[in-house]
Amino acid sequence: MPELPEVETTRRGIAPHLEGHRVTRVIVRERRLRWPIPEDLDVRLSGQRIERVERRAKYLLIGAECGTLIGHLGMSGSLRLIEAGLPAAKHEHVDIELDSGLALRYTDPRRFGALLWSLDPLNHELLRKLGPEPLGEDFDGERLYQLSRGKRVAVKPFIMDNAVVVGVGNIYATEALFAAGIDPRREAGSISRARYVRLADDIRRILAQAIDCGGTTLRDFVGGDGKPGYFQQELFVYGRGGEFCKVCGSTLREVKLGQRASVYCPRCQR
């Protein structure tokens, strides 16, 4: 599933080609995504000027003059720029054609993504209860420490809770916990303030590094320019269960936490 760095990579790739341009036509070939694409999306969006392309958590917000298109890439979705009129292949569900001659094409083999319309996107039911951005000023180790008090849930699903902090998905939670030396199975409430300060710093550092690398390509993700990310070359533990730890040489172990596979080093992480 595309995580925050992949969504931010997409945003940075498409924004310069969308902002300031008008939508000339919207072609919807398949409306049945996670939630149905609005029947009148073409009417609402066509003719409007795109004013901004922003991100909130894993949602892309394409702000037009009279509303905002909320996009989510789901499990396997991508948004990339093509020449308008290029024939569509299977799973290429939506084209948003622009006055520049380009089109933003949405592709989603599994159809778990979404394209929704809102007049007040930050108060949309999908966004209004989200926690702070991990790269923003409202997120730090003190927040993690205070929210974790009395929590018996394991620390990994705790930091993946979007009410605590947004966008820390499986890949980056696994890597940040390794960097901070914290066993992902530890109860969230048992971890000290000092260790949460380090964990918050590592979350920010790893997410920023992943964005600089264009995200992580494990299956389907490509950026807005159609190119894959390469942060997977920097992974220390994610997806490496049974292999040797790059730091100490111990065999990495894999467990299930919150229905997700979690890999950790029994020597480096306590």
Residues 62 and 160 in one domain: no
Please give the backbone phi and psi of residue 179, each rounded to the nearest 5 degrees, phi first.
-60, -35
pLDDT in tens, 47-65: 999 999 999 999 999 999 9
Least confident of 122-126, 146-150, 207-211: 207-211
Residues facing residue 70 across a β-bridge: 61, 116
Tell me the two tokens of residue 30: 């398949």
Residues near 175 by beta carbon (within 8 Å), at least 6 away in sequence: 206, 235, 236, 237, 238
CA terminus-to-terminus distance, the chain: 28
pLDDT in tens, 192-240: 999 999 999 999 999 999 998 876 543 443 444 444 443 455 789 999 9
Q: How many domains, the chain?
A: 2
Residues 34 and 101 in one domain: yes
Q: Which domain holds residue 46?
A: 4-123
Indicate whether 135 belongs to any domain. no
Check which CATH number belongs to the domain holding 39 and give it. Answer: 3.20.190.10
- Binding site for DNA, by residue number, is 91, 110, 151
Check which CATH number belongs to the domain holding 211 and give it. Answer: 1.10.8.50
Residues 119 and 148 in one domain: no
Residues 152 and 255 in one domain: yes
Catalytic residue IDs? 2-3, 58, 260
Residues 119 and 161 in one domain: no
pLDDT in tens, 12-49: 999 999 999 999 999 999 999 999 999 999 999 999 99
